[in-house]
Amino acid sequence: MWVQVEFADLPCQVDNFLGNNRFCSQSAFDLVVQRFLMDRMVSYEEKNRVLRVLLKRPGIIASLGVHDAFSALMAEQAGFEMLFLGGFGTSASRLGLPDLNFLNLTDMETAVGQISSVLRVPLIVDADTGHGGLPQVRHTVRRLASAGASGILLEDQVFPKRCGHFRQKQVIPADEMRAKLETAMEARPDQDFVIIARTDARAVHGLEDAIDRVNVYCQDGADVAFIEAPESRDELLKVAQRVRYPLFANMLVGGKTPIVPVQDLETMGYKFAVSPIETLMVCGDAMRSMMSVFRKEGRLDHHLLGKMSFEEIKDLLKLDQWSSGNHA
């Protein structure tokens, strides 16, 4: 696959890597962006620009939800081009509590700042309902953007909200959500900042209403459409056939939506395929296993053979660069 590159869309550093080659292969373009992102720390504005380029690029973006700075560094090292920070994982990781509105804007802002400060790749952040009415939506966008978010997910649940795969959800009228999205678009720091419009109407009013809602939300200017919790592969396909805008698929293992391979989602027409809390699940399972071994055997050296080493952790955290004062 070959990609036409619009130089105006790219940070100047990426432009310099490409030189005068307006057309390049998909793999070459990916390498250029990766070189730009990994070569040094990147400003918030540059991350926003890179995210906008990724959104315009053909093909699907497979990504993960992370829950803290360490999991984010692991995902970046693994080669993911952008990441998500959701409320469920953040509430579990920071507070040890379920996603039932214990997490407030200040908690999320702090998490975003900690994570984005060590990341080179863009981070899209769960803004829930905007934490209230229109003034709160404006405040939420500005604070999360200032903390380092390159985009947000904004949803149409009634405040206070519930996790998208929980029962007893309620949604606000579509016109009320449209006003929230308009406020969010006005408040974003630049036009590269991405706004994902999420609806939870599938569980409340049915799939048709959910499709109608996201089409209107994106017609008003939202960048990406997200229908939470379709309940079958056929529903995922129907959404892709009926929604005319970039689409977000939430692939929560154990949730209401069946897991569909990324390649199949791409064929359907989805732009994002995200595993939202699986990093948390894997961490929990690994810690539970380690703790069981330690309680039974009183030592962990054998258990940790072949697993991440102390040296690898130090390398991930760039200990040598920080110690030498050469960290960029």
What are the mean pLDDT values of the chain's consecutive 10-residue runs (328 residues total)?
A: 46 47 54 49 92 97 98 98 96 94 95 97 97 97 98 91 61 97 98 97 95 98 97 98 97 96 98 98 98 98 97 96 78
Selection from 272, 111, 255 nearest residue 196 by Cα: 272
* Per-residue confidence (pLDDT) for residue 169, from 0 to 100: 76
User: Which pLDDT score, from 0 to 100, does residue 120 have?
Assistant: 96
**Cβ neighbours around 237 below 10 Å, total:** 17
317/298 Cα distance (integer angstroms): 28
Asked if omega into 122 is within 30° of 0 (cis), the reply is: no
Q: Which domains does the chain have, with CATH numbers?
A: 1-40 (no CATH), 45-283 (3.20.20.60)
Of residues 191, 209, 189, 190, the one with CA closest to residue 199: 209
pTM of the model: 0.86
pLDDT attached to residue 18: 45
Phi and psi at 226, nearest 5°, equal -135, 110
Kindly give, in sequence order, each residue whose CB lies less than 8 Å from that of residue 64, ignoring residues fewer than 6 positions away. 75, 80, 83, 84, 274, 275, 276, 278, 279
Q: Which amino acid is at 61?
A: I
pLDDT at 30: 56
Which secondary-structure segment (H or E) carries 232? none
